[in-house]
Structure 1
């Protein structure tokens, strides 16, 4: 039995306590229902689990290992013997041909004996397979399945139905014997995939009472997921009903945890999800599930302190065991964590942080997990927050680009008083890729918060509602006023924003979201106020870089003026303020220098001038820029050269083009 022991050691090394060989948590894996993964092979995740948790189904599987192992060992021994004999022949001074011939004869004899031994082993193995329960039927079923699963060329539908019917007739009386075998289980998976709805219902009925065994089987779990994937609503409910009461036990099982995760994420309805989560509260809520239907964990805990303590203890026990098994990335576990943090006291929050601080980044990819992460960050002490920030630091780019992870980062900005720690932890990590982050749908939001606060332009009411809830939670542990904390962050991050824009200006201007971000950075009194004298020089340098970007032939397709969002940015810089939609007017900046009339005059002198002013007016994409220059310079009584040049070319302006509304408006304003 040496091969079996050897395989077990490999399994422990591959996936011990849900961790990889290097000790890091194993990535979350979902059981695939794709036929190529489940019918032709067993996935890599299953392989490591099978070798560690599942012993051979019977002596025949051991015999397979023994045969292959003996073959390898004998082959190695024969090679060594041959090598020794060759060396002896080389050392023989007489070079006796007779001696060599004798050695060759002996070698051939050993090979023949070994081959005969292997043939006898294979014959014995085949005979035993045929003698075991349903052996002849299984062999016949497998031969039909080999025809059914052919993909190239694809089996015609009528042939496939015929083969499926034959397999079902042979297997319906012994299906419970097939589903836990590694090869026969794949036969039933194919049957589920290619059968009719009625046939699938029959298979579910035939396996009734076996679902827990399937969930905990290294091979059977794939069939169970197949039944969930292709089964009807009633089939899923039947499976759920049978597994009910065992979910906490399954979550601690290496194979069963994946089945529960798929059931929760992919196949359960909202009502069924609530039923699954209530089971984690404790035995009372698993047995009397109808009694507590519709109740939230807060409502139950409000009725009794004793009940609260029992529920918290049960949740914490299940969560701890699952995390230690390497299931920290599972969404159903995140849902259980969310139930706990809703009712947790300070001590339990600290226990959760201690348990999760190394796997904290694994929470942020699900809505439930992100809610847990934000709650822990909001309720944590200053010391505990340092642990959480340290855990997030290596994953900051992935965190920011995640739909839910960016809310976790924003919550950190809102709650952590140590702004120096926040900048040192995340500033260097994002500096090189900031130009990519500010043009990402989700990754830009934390930086917009630093610039503008929780502006409704960029944060939806639902997001604002959640963030305000976390702010309220943090009131006991966060001491600084929110505005002071944001200004401190702005002071540290503003120079990084300016350097990024200056270095990647053309690339950022080519994106709509990038132009929005540049606008919020430059047309911002709060940011300008935080800049030092040296940094204001950098601000002016950024303005110069933007002006330079608009040089060139405006008729070319890749010119920035051809993009509407670039034109909007340019208009905002010329106007020197932001449009107030409520009051329907421009709110002019009071502190920023270099925008408004000054920017308009510089832009005309450096980019437009008298040589191409007419071209800018007659181009529909650039005419409104000239309108903005005229309005600003005329308002400030500046730009006498621009006004003189404009009067010279007024007769040449063609207002007949219906698409060029900017030229028409300019003529109207001038006249």
Structure 2
């Protein structure tokens, strides 16, 4: 059997030797002084052959180990041998993990060299499930602001993929300077974005930012068509900052019918959304613009009820409860959040007066909030922020507060 493997794989003996060394080197409790000679030996054996073994399952972990524990000089040698294979690594089921490792432990110059390998290939990579995760990681965690703009610019069309000087500006600035390019940019962005949405590839921040830019740039029919394609997928995007901004933008600029679709998609994930750093912002926007307060009660408030204490004790979830009890009281909202909610007032699709919506939502939420205090007063009053929430609830909620006061 061994003879057959050696015959079919010229690197079989090398891999066996490397695996034996890797088993020793990967032990977490191994002292640096003991590990370094092992890493040195692994590199002696593999340098010059890395490009021919990296796409084999066993080798991927071995190379990651060498990158993690190697010296700066050794990492430079590994980088030099592998950087030209970046795109192939990204597409490999196992070897894709090597690229984030090179980015994590690499120097600024090494990171820049890897990110340059993506130039001209972003539109293809982002459509591939395996490669898109590597590209997204590079974009979020390691790319500089100019590099992010250059990567995003490839959504705008071939001109921006080939000539990076044209991509140095934000898309809004490009269109402001050259209005005739707007149809060209929108057409190419749409050609890239729609197939991704159809495949369900909507979890990556780079896509969220590109979608947001498209909607901000588009108007009329083009904007409505894209919102129609994305509305049921927003719940998968609002966990990122740009995804939350995208969700808020869609809620602001779409019809009451589409808003209902978006809110219904939240239902299975309401608890999670309440307690997300960015997700709760999208939830507040929905509570602020949707006219159908009966829908909000069924899809959002009823889901919150079973985990209301957990929400109250979470720093983001608590902000949702402050909003429900106190609306836009500046005592409980940051100036930035207050301004972002206030900006939603100008939307053309909310017909019901704000005061009416506010009173209906408060009436729907009050029993749940008063019951929270009645059942958990001792826990809530121990901490400053939750005690402040108790005050907001007792001050603003409607209904019989007797049980809540007695619990205190």
Would you say same fold, with TM above 0.5? Answer: yes
Question: Do structure 1's residue 398 and structure 2's residue 272 form an aligned pair?
Answer: yes
Which residue pairs with 2:22 in the alignment? Answer: 145
2:293–2:357 Cα contact (<8 Å) kept: yes
1:364–1:404 Cα contact (<8 Å) kept: yes
- In the superposition, relative to structure 1, how do residues 436 and 175 fare at CA in structure 2: closer, same or farther (>3 Å)? closer
Q: Which runs of 5+ in 1 are unaligned?
A: 1-121, 550-671
Question: Do structure 1's residue 289 and structure 2's residue 164 form an aligned pair?
Answer: yes
Which residue pairs with 1:125 in the alignment? Answer: 4
- In the superposition, relative to structure 1, how do residues 510 and 178 fare at CA in structure 2: closer, same or farther (>3 Å)? same
Question: Do structure 1's residue 460 and structure 2's residue 339 form an aligned pair?
Answer: no
Could you tell me which of 290, 297, 322 is aligned with 1:448? 322
Deviation readout 1:604-659 (Å, 9 max, x if unpaired) = xxxxxxxxxxxxxxxxxxxxxxxxxxxxxxxxxxxxxxxxxxxxxxxxxxxxxxxx
- Cα RMSD for the two superposed structures: 2.4
Shift in Å, 1:232: 0.8
Q: Which whole-Å CA distance do the structure 1 matches of 2:162 and 2:84 have between them?
A: 18
- In the superposition, relative to structure 1, how do residues 384 and 148 fare at CA in structure 2: closer, same or farther (>3 Å)? same
Which residue pairs with 1:242 in the alignment? Answer: 117
Shift in Å, 1:263: 0.6
1:349–1:380 Cα contact (<8 Å) kept: no
Which residue pairs with 2:355 in the alignment? Answer: 483
Which residue pairs with 1:218 in the alignment? Answer: 93
Could you tell me which of 377, 382, 395 is aligned with 2:251? 377
Which residue pairs with 2:388 in the alignment? Answer: 516
Q: Which whole-Å CA distance do the structure 1 matches of 2:300 and 2:52 have between them?
A: 56
1:349–1:376 Cα contact (<8 Å) kept: no
Aligned ranges 1:66-105 → 2 under 5 Å: none
Higher deviation after alignment, 372-381 or 415-424: 415-424
* Secondary structure of residue in 1 paired with 2:386: helix
Which residue pairs with 2:260 in the alignment? Answer: 386
Q: Which whole-Å CA distance do the structure 1 matches of 2:317 and 2:6 have between them?
A: 64
Higher deviation after alignment, 234-243 or 420-429: 420-429
Aligned ranges 1:125-274 → 2 under 5 Å: 125-129=4-8, 132-151=9-28, 154-274=29-149
Shift in Å, 1:446: 2.9
Q: Which whole-Å CA distance do the structure 2 matches of 1:277 and 1:183 have between them?
A: 34
Q: Which whole-Å CA distance do the structure 2 matches of 1:514 and 1:179 have between them?
A: 53
Q: Which whole-Å CA distance do the structure 1 matches of 2:146 and 2:293 have between them?
A: 43
Deviation readout 1:352-407 (Å, 9 max, x if unpaired) = 33333333211121111000000001111011111001101121111111121111
Name which one, 1 or 2, has greater alpha-carbon Rg: 1
Q: Which whole-Å CA distance do the structure 1 matches of 2:132 and 2:48 have between them?
A: 30
Q: TM-score, normalised by structure 1?
A: 0.57
- In the superposition, relative to structure 1, how do residues 498 and 178 fare at CA in structure 2: closer, same or farther (>3 Å)? same
Question: Do structure 1's residue 429 and structure 2's residue 303 form an aligned pair?
Answer: yes
* Secondary structure of residue in 2 paired with 1:280: helix
- In the superposition, relative to structure 1, how do residues 488 and 232 fare at CA in structure 2: closer, same or farther (>3 Å)? same
Shift in Å, 1:542: 3.6
2:234–2:243 Cα contact (<8 Å) kept: no
- In the superposition, relative to structure 1, how do residues 144 and 393 fare at CA in structure 2: closer, same or farther (>3 Å)? closer
Higher helix share: 2
2:235–2:265 Cα contact (<8 Å) kept: yes
- In the superposition, relative to structure 1, how do residues 510 and 289 fare at CA in structure 2: closer, same or farther (>3 Å)? same
Shift in Å, 1:502: 2.8
Structure with bigger RCO (C-alpha 8 Å, 6+ apart): 2
Deviation readout 1:296-332 (Å, 9 max, x if unpaired) = 2222223455522232233333333333444322222
Deviation readout 1:60-85 (Å, 9 max, x if unpaired) = xxxxxxxxxxxxxxxxxxxxxxxxxx
Shift in Å, 1:452: 2.8
1:435–1:501 Cα contact (<8 Å) kept: no
* Secondary structure of residue in 2 paired with 1:276: helix
Q: TM-score, normalised by structure 2?
A: 0.91
Could you tell me which of 276, 285, 292 is aligned with 1:411? 285
Which residue pairs with 1:630 in the alignment? Answer: none
Question: Do structure 1's residue 363 and structure 2's residue 242 form an aligned pair?
Answer: no
Q: Which runs of 5+ in 2 are unaligned?
A: none
Question: Do structure 1's residue 505 and structure 2's residue 384 form an aligned pair?
Answer: no
Higher deviation after alignment, 404-413 or 155-164: 155-164
